[in-house]
């Protein structure tokens, strides 16, 4: 397991994307089966192990380490797995194969798991203990996406990443048929029906960049605030995949039942009540469910707004120009009122489109998509054919209230920030953000937290309500689950307002007035 531990450490502290790919490819090239397959599954989130909870780990360390010492150490380190790995009292440093650790977590019963974990931790050195605990909790946090992992596989000299992604959903760890295929063997047989096909992504743009393009060579459509999906009916086998290839069919049985067409379509998953498109907050209540109640199906019905046809009635359309695919899309019969085509916008100049973008007909719309009429459907993010022009983010000035230590390479910094707005004479928490700032700004924020702490709650510090943060966010919904009554979407710190007194931060009623 030492090579796996080294890989995790290097990935966590390597920011460059291409360097991460080289590290992973070297590991996959040099590591024997089945260890490399289990490592790959762990990094892509596809390794299903018996759940090891924080409370279980806290119980184990409580039997070995003084409680006050552990509390102080955890407060300093900020990451439970890393704290246990460092403080665990053992001088051993065996090199346990990764597949043995996986087998322990898969085969040990619930009652025997604490003793088995303790025995294994006693045999490992600190770096391996950290790798094992990350494996056990499923908390990798090394900055490597599932797509990047599949790109590293493609770099090994076998099939291209698009073909690997098409069969990925049909594979199970440790992926021996996949590695055999990469080495020149046969394509895995279990990928014949309802394959995932990589989606085509867009690049951000703005009005200044658009002025260099000919508007007559492009079409535009609304960018809906749902989640991008592939919907497939392949010979009666129906699947719904997220854009990263996750099979989310079980969470949306109502939409699966409505897939009464023959083909593969690219679209936006939404909650639809008749003609009304609901907010992303409503859709979020349907996501990540293994089962859906009848009440939820009735109150939050799923729908699909189709952007493009990839496979239609047995014909692969991806090499056709968008204009031809769009004509077929507009004429398509999807066989259900839950599914329709995303409408094309009527514009002549980029200023016309800017006016439409500035005043969309529905608050669920988060901008416009712009696509070349002659563009083929190409997997990945080719630069040039498709653009997204999102609406300007909403912004409020909020007061920093709490800070929590980060994880991985941020474990030495307070990097997760909770902020609030004024409600009368009180500050009410309205959100949490952990990105948007530069490395230098992170150091400045961390310094402020340490110098202005008023209370501590484990890894969390309360701070003097003096620092104002400009917080940008993409959407806002009313929410009964939050004390403030609102929920932000994708909040981020866009600026530190060292110049602004906390008394001049925004008020809760200002934020609520932004709800569409």
Q: Which two tokens stand for residue 135?
A: 């494996």
Note whether 264 and 311 are within 8 A (CB): yes
**Which H or E element spans position 179?**
helix 176-182
The DSSP symbol for 183 reads T
CA of residue 256 relative to chain centroid, distance:
23
Active site residue 223: yes
Q: What does each C-alpha distance from 349 to 120, 371, 384, 433 come to in angstroms?
A: 66, 14, 19, 37
Distance CA 196, CA 228 (A): 13
Distance CA 45, CA 315 (A): 33
Q: Comparing C-alpha atoms, which of 136, 95, 82 is closest to residue 1?
A: 95
Helix and strand counts by DSSP (H, E) for the chain = 20, 20
Q: Which two tokens stand for residue 12?
A: 């966590």
Angle at 404 between CA 399 and CA 406, to 5 degrees: 125
Distance CA 70, CA 47 (A): 30
Distance CA 408, CA 81 (A): 10
Burial class (CB in 10 A: 0-12, 13-18, 19+), 493: buried
Burial class (CB in 10 A: 0-12, 13-18, 19+), 186: exposed
Beta bridge partners of 403: 417, 461
The DSSP symbol for 199 reads P
3-state secondary structure of 201: coil
> Annotated catalytic residue: which of 2, 20, 193, 223?
223
Q: Which two tokens stand for residue 170?
A: 């049909």
Residues 6+ apart with CB under 8 A from 151: 21, 161
Sign, Cα dihedral of 15, 21, 27, 28: positive
Residue with tokens 């790109």: 151
Q: Give the CA radius of gyration of the chain.
A: 25
Whether the link from the prior residue into 34 is cis, omega within 30° of 0, is: yes
Q: Comparing C-alpha atoms, which of 346, 305, 347, 312 is closest to residue 327?
A: 312
Residues 6+ apart with CB under 8 A from 66: none
Provide the annotated active-site residues: 223
């Amino acid at each position: 397991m030492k090579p796996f531990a080294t890989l995790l450490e290097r990935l966590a502290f390597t920011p460059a994307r291409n360097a991460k790919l080289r590290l992973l490819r070297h590991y996959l090239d040099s590591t024997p089966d089945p260890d490399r397959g289990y490592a790959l599954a762990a990094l892509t989130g596809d390794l299903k192990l018996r759940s090891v909870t924080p409370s279980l780990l806290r119980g184990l360390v409580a039997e070995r380490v003084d409680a006050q010492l552990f509390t102080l150490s955890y407060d300093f380190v900020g990451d439970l797995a890393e704290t246990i790995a460092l403080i665990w009292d053992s001088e051993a440093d065996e090199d346990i194969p990764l597949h043995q650790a996986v087998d322990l977590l898969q085969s040990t019963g619930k009652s025997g798991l604490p003793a088995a974990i303790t025995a294994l931790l006693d045999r490992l050195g600190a770096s391996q203990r950290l790798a094992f605990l990350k494996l056990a909790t499923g908390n990798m946090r090394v900055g490597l996406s599932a797509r990047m992992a599949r790109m590293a596989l493609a770099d090994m000299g076998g099939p291209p990443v698009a073909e690997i992604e098409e069969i990925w959903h049909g594979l199970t760890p440790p992926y021996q048929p996949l590695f055999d295929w990469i080495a020149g063997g046969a394509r895995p047989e279990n990928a014949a029906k309802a394959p995932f096909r990589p989606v085509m992504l867009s690049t951000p743009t703005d009005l200044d960049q658009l002025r260099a393009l000919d508007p007559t060579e492009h079409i535009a459509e609304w960018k809906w605030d749902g989640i991008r999906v592939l919907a497939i009916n392949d010979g009666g086998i129906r699947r719904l995949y997220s854009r990263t290839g996750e099979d989310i069919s079980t969470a949306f049985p109502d939409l699966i039942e409505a897939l009464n067409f023959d083909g593969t379509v690219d679209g936006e998953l939404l909650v639809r009540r008749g003609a009304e498109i609901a907010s992303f907050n409503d859709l979020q209540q349907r996501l990540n469910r293994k089962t859906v109640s009848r009440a939820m199906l009735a109150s939050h019905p799923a729908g699909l707004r189709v952007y493009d046809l990839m496979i239609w009635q047995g014909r692969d359309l991806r090499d056709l120009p968008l204009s031809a695919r769009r004509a077929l899309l507009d004429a398509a019969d999807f066989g259900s009122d839950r599914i329709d085509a995303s409408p094309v916008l009527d514009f002549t100049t980029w200023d016309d489109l800017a006016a439409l973008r500035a005043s969309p007909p529905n608050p669920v719309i988060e901008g416009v998509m712009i696509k070349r009429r002659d563009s083929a459907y190409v997997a990945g993010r080719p630069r040039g054919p498709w653009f997204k022009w999102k609406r300007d983010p909403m912004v409020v000035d909020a007061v920093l209230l709490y800070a929590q230590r980060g994880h991985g390479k941020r474990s030495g910094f307070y990097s997760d920030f909770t902020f609030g707005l004024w409600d009368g004479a009180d500050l009410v928490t309205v959100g949490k953000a952990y990105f948007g700032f530069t490395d230098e700004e992170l150091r400045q924020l961390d310094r402020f937290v340490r110098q202005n702490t008023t209370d501590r709650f484990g890894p969390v510090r309360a701070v003097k309500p003096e620092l104002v943060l400009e917080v940008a966010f993409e959407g806002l919904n009313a929410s009964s689950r939050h004390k403030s009554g609102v929920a932000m979407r994708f909040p981020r710190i866009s600026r530190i307002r060292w110049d602004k007194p906390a008394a001049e931060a925004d008020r809760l009623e200002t934020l609520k007035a932004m709800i569409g």
